[in-house]
Amino acid sequence: MTQAGLARPDISRRIVLGIGGGIAAYKVCEVLRRLSEAGHRVRVVPTEAALKFVGAPTWEALSGSPVRHDVFADVSEVPHVRLGQTADLVVVAPATADLLARAAHGRADDLLCATLLTARCPVMLVPAMHTEMWEHPATQYNVAMLRSRGTIVAQPASGRLTGADSGAGRLPEPGEIVELATLLLHRGDALRTDLTGRHVVVSAGGTREPLDPVRYLGNRSSGRQGYALARVAAQRGAQVTLVAAHTADLTDPAGVDVVRVGTASQLREAMLKAAARADAVVMAAAVADFRPAVSHPGKIKKTGADPEPLPLIVNPDILVELVRSRLREQVVVGFAAETGDSDADVLAQARAKLARKGCDLLVVNAVGESRAFEVDDNTGWLLGADGSQAALPEGPKSLLASYVWDAIAARLTR
């Protein structure tokens, strides 16, 4: 298994990693390590203040390149112009309130800000600061100004900040920053803010149907695709509710409300409740079709004899219920993992499923051994109830998510 889109020489690119002067700089060492291990050529450009938190030797050792912060070093190489001009992606983390202000106003008083002015590639600033500073009108004004010019300002996470307080303004986890950076290398316009003001609900993971307190019927879904959908929607400006059944060990996406559930019936209840005020609903969860007719209150014991056959009962089809109870204008999206059989190929099966479920869009994956489940990359097709059909490019699950949100956003404006 690979990290999202990593270890693929075909996407080895030039990345400028800017570091602002905040305590979260230490977490960005891990971002650098992962981007370098993926084969990217990373130049680290800290601010002078950033070097008070993590010193130049650390950045130089991890990147294998010299580290400068002012425009008067190595002048013959004109780094204040060249670094930005030649970059495929600029990521700045942590982007402090001061750095956001300087970037918003086009200051060029150090190497990092000069690089931001010369970059013509996607630029993502990943904020980290105390909640009061993040919510201050001055910072929000600077963020709005940057976004209006096409600079990506990521949503910060909520949670523990420096010291005992917690709130919005925490740096997203390194894996999440790497995932967003990898997405931008695949598709520079994947994180536009076209879902601002929308509320969307995404389900993820596999339900578990208990047989007794220690055993369950489950499935192989890791939840990665649903998490990628939630993450990308939040970064595109949506208010996101993620209803998460059992998943692999995944980090909660920054800026997303996560509701945890176990069984199909809990998932159903949470989805119907959240969908009641949503603009779009995406059912990426793998729902168990059946559940044991009886869940034993105590552990089922061996007796030495073969056990009785297990009676199962069918679970409600949540997607069909969501379609039936939907609000006017709400876009409902399903997923289908198909293997094809002797009667119908994957797409024919999927088209029949789309009609049966009645949703607006169906994301189709061909599945089989080591395809789609428990891997980071995904591919497939997007079928529309209007008869449309689009192939989705192979790549990280966040890339597939970005195309799904494009199709949803196009329907939301109708």
Q: Name the site residues for ligand CTP (rule: CB under 6 A).
A: 264, 283, 285, 287, 289, 315, 317-319, 334-337, 357
Of the listed 142, 219, 365, 378, which one is catalytic? Answer: 219
Residue type, 240: V
Hey, what are 108's tokens?
A: 């060029």
Hey, what are 104's tokens?
A: 């918003």
Closest distance to ligand CTP from the beta carbon of 231 (Å): 19
Closest distance to ligand CTP from the beta carbon of 286 (Å): 7
Q: At what angle do helices 79-86 and 111-118 cross, to 10 degrees?
A: 50
CA distance 163 to 58: 24
Closest distance to ligand CTP from the beta carbon of 379 (Å): 16
Hey, what are 174's tokens?
A: 């390194």
- CB nearer to ligand CTP: pick between 184 and 364: 364
- CB nearer to ligand CTP: pick between 184 and 319: 319
- CB nearer to ligand CTP: pick between 299 and 356: 356
- CB nearer to ligand CTP: pick between 128 and 337: 337
Closest distance to ligand CTP from the beta carbon of 393 (Å): 21
Residue length of the chain? 414
Residue type, 198: R
Strand 14-19 versus strand 152-153 pairing type: unpaired
CA distance 244 to 372: 18
- CB nearer to ligand CTP: pick between 79 and 226: 226
Cβ atoms 404, 361 nearer than 8 A: yes
Positive or negative: CA dihedral 274, 276, 279, 281: positive
Active site residue 378: no
Closest distance to ligand CTP from the beta carbon of 381 (Å): 14
CA distance 366 to 350: 10
Residue bearing tokens 């995904």: 378
- CB nearer to ligand CTP: pick between 111 and 264: 264
List of E strands, 195-314: 199-204, 209-212, 215-217, 239-244, 256-260, 280-283, 290-292, 312-314
Q: Which residues contact 101 (CB under 8 A, 6 or more apart)?
A: 138, 139, 142
Closest distance to ligand CTP from the beta carbon of 357 (Å): 6
- As annotated, the active-site residues are 219
